[in-house]
A and B are shown apart, each in its own frame.
Chain A
Amino acid sequence: MKQRLFTILILLAFVGYDTVNAQWMPAPGEAQSKPVYIVGGTMHIGNGQIIENGAIGFEKGKITMVTDKDIDKIPKDNAQVINAEGKHIYPGFISPNSLMGLVEISAVRPTRDFDEVGDYNPHLRSIIAYNTDSWVTPTIRSNGVLLAQIRPQGGRISGGSAIVQLDAWNYEDALVKEDGIILNFPSLVNRKGWWGEPGGLEANKQNQEQLAELKSFFLEAQAYCKQDNPSETDLRFEAMRSVFNKEKKVYISANHAQNIIEVVDFIKTFKIDGVLVGGRDAYLVADVLAESKIPVILNKTHRLPYRADEDIDLPYKLPLLLKEAGVEFCIQAERSSGEQRNLPFTAGKAVPYGLSKEDALQSITLSAAKIMGIDAQFGSLEAGKSATLFISTGDALDPISNHVEVAFIDGREVNLENKQKELYRKFMDKYRLEQKQH
């Protein structure tokens, strides 16, 4: 008997292993062929609202209905119906300001494609290096992050950012929008030393020169863009056309209070569609940001206070402080690729420090979509928008309960397998242990 059970186990293990062997990089889901209805559970709309025991339906990739009434009347023929009782339905999380797909292993130079030579590179396009076959991406979406903004870094203008959906065959497939350019605002303060031997902070003596240089770049670009057909082409300036006609946003990083005020002034001066990125000291000038209606892609909460004298929970409560001041913000994760999957938890960390759960959710869904200009399609569970959403058995902003069961991007069911789950199964099978989680 024992012998037999053993054989069966081995067989099962083998079969189990074999069937998912190809799932390290699962194939993208197929286009939605029939309507899907998710019934019951708690629907987190993404705009602060919750619908209990309602239903959501989508067809051909678009949400067709979101309702809390007449659930019985949902047509079940030729449709997939998912019972979400006791579960949570969320719009896909959106991770802003990330290096996802632009780097595979950060310590291995050939896998890094995010930092080009030169200070002014608005003409660079991050989307063309986006690696849809990264091992990392599947691990991110299986925590509920279904969209991301990818961006280069370094220099004054690092290049163009793009928004991608995380279930694609190739970068053209993945592209949602090339949405902006990345600008690193001249800092008032430099850190002395180097990474291994950091010094204190000191004033950036080149600050004024750098600022003047930046302004003259924008002025020259503006003048250039006034010509429809310049006799000589400047690729950098050409790339700025979409900035001045507001097709693209300018994502401007700044963390020091003084710098943030200067960023606000810069945005007003050049009449650009500007977004503040970072905003570590934003609480000191939150009223200025609110008044100028400049939104913020906020640093992750998972960081230490910048100054020893600060409230030790300042990074955790900064989202609340901005919320109270009326600043629109979304929250980013650690920029590195591997950390993107912790986006929901970095947002959730603001909750015990006063931000409501739905506001925390909004900061990685609808607010992120608005700030990056994709809210017509994404960011909330509303009819007409893309069916990019998922079901978690528990609260998805808490690592103890985040468990994504089913996810859809544009109505296509996402294969939630990934390399890590596969390795888990492989070795649980080796040890003949019962898998408790996928």
Chain B
Amino acid sequence: MKKIVGLLFLFWQIAAIAQVTYPTNGAKEIRNKHYAFTNATIYKDYQTKLEKASLIIKDGKVVTVSPSAFIPADAIEVDCSGKTIYPAFVEIISNYGLPEAKPAGEGRRYATQLVSDKKGAYYWNEAIKPETLAYELFASDSEKAKKLRAIGYGAVVSHQTDGIVRGSGTLVNLNDKSENENILKDQVASFYSFRKGVTKQNYPSSLMGAIALLEQTYLDGEWYKNNGHKEERNISLEYWNQQQDLPAVFLTSNWQEILRADRLGDANNVQYIIKGGGDEYKRLEELKASNASLIVPVKYPKPYDVEDPFAAHYVALKDMKHWELAPYNLARLDEANIEFALTTDGLEKAGDIMSGLKTAIKKGLKKETALKALTYAPAKMLRIDNWVGSLKDGSSANFLITSGDIFEEASILENWVQGDQYLIKQENTKELKGVYDLKLLDLRQNYKLEVKGKPASPEMNIVVNDTTKIKVKSSIQGKRITLHFTPQDAQQKIRLNGMMEGDVWQGKGQDLEGNWIDWQVDNRQELSKEEEKKEGENSKEETANLDETKDGTKEDKIGEVTYPFLPYGWTKEPKQKTVLFKNATVWTNTDDGILEETDVLIRDGRIVSVGKNLDGGSGETIDATGKHLTCGIIDEHSHIAISRGVNEGTQASSAEVSIGNVINSDDINIYRQLAGGVTTAQLLHGSANPIGGQSAIIKFRWGASPEEMKFENADKFIKFALGENVKHSNWGNNGTIRFPQTRLGVEQVFVDFFTQAKEYEEAKRNNPSKVRRNIELETILEIMNKERFITCHSYVQSEITMLMRVAEQFGFNINTFTHILEGYKIADKMKEHGVFASTFSDWWMYKFEVNDAIPHNAAILTDVGVVTAINSDDAEMGRRLNNEAAKGVKYGGMTEEEAWKMVTLNPAKILHLENRVGTIESGKDADVVLWSDNPLSNYSKAEQTYVDGRCYWDIEKDKEMRKLIQAERNRLIQKMLKAKEGGAETQKPSMPKHKHYHCDDIEDEGN
């Protein structure tokens, strides 16, 4: 493949005659466009800067760049003295010249569409469309091209920005020419995203669904290549396989998604080039470790309008901090040596990229990196650096002629695309500084004209005497100049128009009375020393201004990045401490029961010893007299800390999806629940379908990355569900199509999938190479092979019994019934089956199937001998599970110790974690909570919560943090007010959305 590209390239280079396939209207035009741009400062590429150099182009290609170029006889010489030539920029995230995508079907929102409505032998899911080839759809768009050229772009890689698998992008020049000439390379890269786009097909409805769909597509592609093509024709998979050799670009919108995309790539032996959202500075370390090249938008939020204090109250600190820190993003990426390209994607106005870059440079981005990220980096990433991104010999003649340093004040004067000239801005580049004689010949008046400032914006004044100057307004276009001024003591203006030849300017004008006059400027002298000095100071001041705010004071110090990037995030990670808790009432959850006046020592993340008069060595000692020490609370059923959707309920089974792929470490509820003594939770898929998704167990390591939060070596679990939610009983008229609609159907869904999985295993055993790998069935097989365990959402007794019987039929056991509100009716059967229970304390009557729920449920189950936990399923209840456990005492007469185990040891057993957590005994993880009072009581508060011996919640530190948050908010509000005063455009206050999921939430929050 590479060889062919090389050959083609060679051919392209040596084709001497311009050969076209289309007719011309009129005589054949032969323009070889042979130019020599001389005397310029030339960036041959981002790191090679040549002074007084020449650029030779011919036939739309670069012939050479050299300091001492031989100028061919037939080349037109363009003197570029004082000008700088750059390679044109390359945009690689664009839909330039492509039509908007349209959904294949006509489905209404929330209507049921289970399979693709696209006609033809394509993939079953509309969001997977590798058959979309941008070069086939491409049509030049001169209006858009003009806008992009004005910014400095010469070529773009364009793809249809819709879908999860988006097909290939094409490299095109931004020339006003036919598509035939503009397309430089048909297929440059394949494009991917986590957003399904315009399709009305239901699956996937969640982020984890999109990830699973991609994973399965990789497997399907592999199968199709080997054997599948003999079994079915699939155009999508054919294109998919063809595109696997192309660079793969993944579009995401924030740092968490970058890491998710990278993990997906790693699992499939692909290193994606990943487009981020401009918040990379929040997690540089993890991004660096991913080794992914990034494409970064130069996107800064506007300051919020915070003049109304009540309105300002709705603006979140994290958004204000992002406003302050986003301009540092590129500098920090640069400093961290992360390879990146830039994109205008996502900008309100693409043209803002240059002002954004200048800001970034003020904040520390190296100019060289900026230029690289606009030119060479994107070209190199997509392996199109032979065509664009530098002025190396043979590349497309795409370059910019500028008045100087484009990262300073200079402007782009001309943008040449493929050897065609486009004027961008007419601007004087000639140095005019000096003192001249201005003669109004007919009036016999002579003035001293002083010219200062930059060539593009000269400041002209008539010097009357030492203290009086008259401003002269000027405009210069090429050689043409116009001047006008109001002479001393006059009301009207004198207006002049003329031509500049060297240092002599002359022409016609009209005097105060409207009479035509002749004028001339000549006798150029140098500025006086004094004026020169002032001039120097001015420019110095300008540079200094870069770091100053409008009122001239030095910029305040900027806020720090916190982990997570939320209020209450830390800047220094809590250390694993050695702590001796003295004299506590210790709820051991072991045979020792509740021990009075007992010491507990933790060290290196573990509980070291429990006893009397322990020695803490050099560690910290906490007087816990009158206080209670327990292990951390474990929430068996939680939906916090999940990104973009908790249900993939669009199909009866979604065993392929995994919460582990969508953990959101930046959820404030983690901190709030730490304050409620919670240290571990199982994050579950929702209950919108019988076979849900794989769950994740996390420790509440506040500030850690999503991967770091996962409970190490935990067993694998999956969510199943029964009843009204899976039948979509309460979905109104939209939910009446998807099977199953009755409990009768639910049973058969299970039987069907377990049967399929068994047969799949057998087929694989008999014919391993021919069987299409199926993540969904492999996940279900794990259950049958006792490598994965079911947590099943359940309410009424009949369905609970049914599921146990189905499991038994297939030779395994259900691990947990969660919610299990009628568990008390069949507790004996559950005990016999050997299943665990995890229930609400007292919820009932919100839907028909919870009519018979009773708050004594946990007590009955416990009494019968079923290990039972109390769970939250709710971000709010999750932070007071201790009080919910207390209801076991109230309603069921449980002992306090028994009740307490329902939120600690029992969920630890249910999640197979009892060797690590759930008790206070030596060797267990130092996940401990210090309570002010009996932990079950409504009146007690968690004072400290440790995870792995790190103190993530401390009631005293929290008080300090509140002050810091208030101070930081105030600092940023003041800064925003100043920014508005300084003329910055603002945005209306708004509050970020924050979804608190429950089981039956069916939509992804995204857009």
Contacts and interface: CB of A to CB of B under 8 A. Distances in A.
A402 B888 CA distance: 12
A10 interface: no
Given A200-B991, A304-B669, A307-B991, A427 B939 contact: no
A435 B892 CA distance: 8
Given A304-B876, A341-B842, A400-B934, A257 B314 contact: no
A203 B988 contact: yes
B863 A201 contact: no
A185 B965 CA distance: 31
A72 to B, nearest CB: 35
Contact of B310 (A256, A351, A400, A431): A256
Contacts, number: 176
B939 A200 contact: no
Instruction: Give the dominant DSSP class at A's interface.
Output: loop
A201 B310 CA distance: 14
A202 B586 CA distance: 49
Contact of B990 (A200, A400, A401, A431): A200
A6 B940 CA distance: 44
Interface in A187-231: 189, 192-193, 196-203
A104 B887 CA distance: 23
A399 interface: yes
Interface string B588-599: 000000000000
B796 to A, nearest CB: 13
Interface residues of A, number: 62
Contact of B994 (A258, A308, A403): A308
A307 B314 contact: yes
A104 B969 CA distance: 45
Given A196-B1002, A399-B883, A304 B993 contact: no
B991 A433 contact: no
A342 interface: yes
A345 interface: yes
Interface string B896-920: 1000000000000000000000000
Contacts of A197: 1003-1005
Interface string B803-832: 000000000000000000000110110000
Contact of A398 (B876, B886, B990, B995): B886
A313 interface: yes
Interface residues of B, number: 81
Contacts of B632: none
Given A108-B848, A136-B845, A345-B883, A424 B962 contact: no
Specify which of B883, B933, B939 lies most central, judged by the most chain A CB atoms within 10 Å of its CB.
B939
B863 A106 contact: no
B313 to A, nearest CB: 7
Given A105-B848, A352-B939, A424-B854, A309 B863 contact: no
Contact of B314 (A107, A201, A342): A201
Interface in A291-315: 302-305, 307-309, 311-313
B938 A349 contact: yes
Contacts of A136: 845
A424 B823 CA distance: 12
A141 B863 CA distance: 27
A313 B932 CA distance: 15
Given A338-B843, A400-B934, A424 B856 contact: yes
A342 B938 CA distance: 12
A279 to B, nearest CB: 15
B846 A105 contact: yes
B848 A307 contact: no
A437 B887 CA distance: 12
A257 B668 contact: no
B1001 A196 contact: yes
A398 B668 contact: no
Contacts of A94: none
Interface in B674-726: 675, 724
A198 B567 contact: no
B977 interface: no
A257 B893 CA distance: 44
B941 interface: yes
B824 A198 contact: no
B824 A427 contact: yes
B566 interface: yes
Interface string A170-188: 0000000000000000000
B119 interface: no
Contacts of B1005: 193, 197-198
A436 interface: yes
Interface string A324-350: 000000000000111001100100110
B987 to A, nearest CB: 11
Contacts of B894: 436
Given A256-B310, A308-B316, A400-B889, A428 B938 contact: no
A364 interface: no
5 contacts: A305-B672, A309-B317, A399-B890, A400-B889, A431-B827
The list of the 5 closest CB pairs from A to B, nearest first, reads A436-B893, A437-B893, A107-B847, A424-B856, A400-B886
Interface of B: 310-311, 313-314, 316-318, 566-568, 668-669, 671-672, 675, 724, 729-730, 824-825, 827-828, 842-848, 851-852, 854-856, 859-860, 863-864, 875-877, 879-880, 883-884, 886-887, 889-894, 896, 932-934, 936-941, 958, 962, 965, 969, 988, 990-996, 1001-1005, 1007
Interface of A: 104-108, 135-136, 189, 192-193, 196-203, 256-258, 281, 284, 302-305, 307-309, 311-313, 336-338, 341-342, 345, 348-349, 351-353, 397-403, 420-421, 423-424, 427-428, 431, 433, 435-437
